[in-house]
Structure 1
Amino acid sequence: MKDIYAKFVSQKISKTRWRPLPSGSLQTAEIFATGSWDNEENSVLLWLVGDAGNVDSDGGLEREHQILCDIGHHGDVMDLQFLDQERIVTASSTGSVTIFLHHQKDQTLSVSHQWTAAHCHSGPGSLSYSSAPCTGIVCNSPEIVTVGEDGRINLFRADHKEAVRTIDNADSSTLHAVTFLRTPEILTVNSIGQLKIWDFRQPGNEPSQILSLTGDRVPLHCVDRHPNQQHVVATGGQDGMLSIWDVRLGTMPVSLLKAHEAEMWEVRFHPSDPDHLFTCSEDGSLWHWNASANVPEKSSLFHQGGRNSTFFSHSLSGQANANQPLLSSWLSTDPAKDRIEITSLLSNNILPVNSMDVSGSCLVCGTDAEAIYVTRQLFS
């Protein structure tokens, strides 16, 4: 893989996301969004990818990444997701959830809708409240699910002014992230190491299933679902460990993999090649995990700076039915298949990598070093 190109943007970047490509498109991702945090004035920006760092046929450098448009954002951008190709949804530290509309003709962003008090702490009286950060969102157009520090879950629809469903006291601890398992079911992770599955078809306010890490209640910060196998889930948290879960089996993770030296902020399966997974951390690292069958056996010593190594997962659960083949390489309990190749994608970076996203052979990440990093040659 060629070097990731860095562009300094004078903002701490909290979230980065590629704009989704049209269904069936063979195009390469070209537009991504970023959100900032911990700045005097935060903002949401749309970028057009350049070929910076490459030499053109005339011997000069290609164009840099360009800002298409930007708009101010009240509070830190805690999460950011594309609802569709024209709309972006953000979660704010102020508790609000905002839909921004991208006007492609004149390259501007405008507020399409906002739920100003989506998350809040109730005061002593029913009329008083204080804002609580909205910590995570997931979109399946037109539906938007949000979670927050207040332990609340909201189900919004882009065409509704009010929430379609709210579970006020879904959790007594902070909910950090959320993902869809399937259309009516979501999965949340919280600050005491629990995964909870919620079914919006059910009328009550109780989860349909609870899974948890054993031992210490290590906060979980991020979650992603396997794109093809909805029962396979990856999580990461405060201890930097990568956990792989099969939500059909028991209540504990199938495997724990020693990963980063500090908090893992995001985990992401590759959307079209899920044997590849990506994680980023407070310790400044960005890792590419390869669990495909063709990973060769190598030394288990890990080297920084883009060299490869092989890690071995530690299986925690033998609950899989021996008569049922495990189709996902992430659920393998065969020691001969438990090799996972890890590549460090950022060398000499020490400030936190807060967010990353992958589309095809393209990767983008954002850091506290006020930089975004992009490569369009992830597998070359």
Structure 2
Amino acid sequence: MWRLPTNQLCCIYRVPTSLREINNEAYTPRLVLIGPLHHALKAESRRSLRNTPDAKSIDYLNTEEIKKLYLSEFSGMLPRLGKTIDQFIKTIQQQEQAIRDSYSESTSWINSREFCDMILSDAVFILMFSWKCSLDLTARKGKTVAKRSGDPLLDVPCLEYNIKRDLLLLENQLPFYILHMLFHAIVPALFPDYTFHELVMRLFFSHQKRVLHAETFLHFTDLMRGVHVFSLPERDLTKQQAIKSMPCADQLYSMGVKFQAVKEDFSINVRIENGCLKIPTLCVDDHFEATLRNLAALEQCYYPHAPHVCNYLAFIDFLIDTDKDTELLAKKGIITGRVGKPSLVAEMVTKLGRGIYVDTPSCYSGIANRLNAYYNNRTNKSCSLIRTVCSIIQVKPK
């Protein structure tokens, strides 16, 4: 049930039904359950073992066992720092109400001890997984021959890949401030090469340096949104409006608009220069849809007056209408990755915009207005030319 009334700390939400019913899988964890919104799934998974367990329940329970191993390993590191696991539990207990207030739903059905144990287990899992992935990344960069660690989350690439996906889902979050409070002071002592902030950044952006500071995001979904929005230039949105219509890519191309791919990962900064529409590459892979859907869900709930990702999706939805548009953008290098059938990509992009309410000024409306004006002007000139040619043909003597 919703928490009523809402409070200023609330930043982690259950995805609205209007979005979830379009693609439930995009919002559902595959391997790891984090925080209270999916806590009940753990009990359901255990009950399923007594009947006919499904693969997803087994995956959840396997990851719960790995959480226990990570917690034991972390506890074994603490004595050399003169700390105990009880000190971390005490910190969580002191922050328990603030953590509970971070969620849009009441968590009163989880008793205090179970809640604090859950937060500790999930927080330590995130820390240890981030550290282990960072070590693995360093080994790969150094071309060290990989050895099996005995940890399936690292030894099986698809599992690591899906854990990272799960950690970005809106419903699957811990408030970042509690992670920072627990770990920022001890990480340099445990892992001298890193700060906790650096571990998090390397987890999601392994090949890039990101400038966002720990204080600037609420949780990992918000971090990912911040990285996308960071590339947008400052615009006076009071002079902008929502996009109502715009020609698709194939129509624009037929009228002389050029398209250029811009290699800016995680960027949504579309711009038009000298008749050329410059668009950051869209890597259409298994996580593309899930990531954008969860960022849009966060904006619908927490950033209704600054829905930059939602406005971006609306712009791309206008641009990609049919498989011809997909083929054109793929040819120009704007759409990359495992594209598959162009018609499927067009359908997926169309669905991304469904269930999203956007009626606020869009930072893309200026670009849309210029494209509309250019297209209409070219269309009018073409129609005028056709009428002129037809009239000449009609009056030409036989």
Task: Output the TM-score relative to the length of structure 2.
Answer: 0.27
User: Does 1 or 2 have the higher relative contact order (CA < 8 Å, sep 6+)?
Assistant: 2
More helix by share: 2
* More strand by percentage: 1
Normalising by structure 1, what TM-score?
A: 0.28
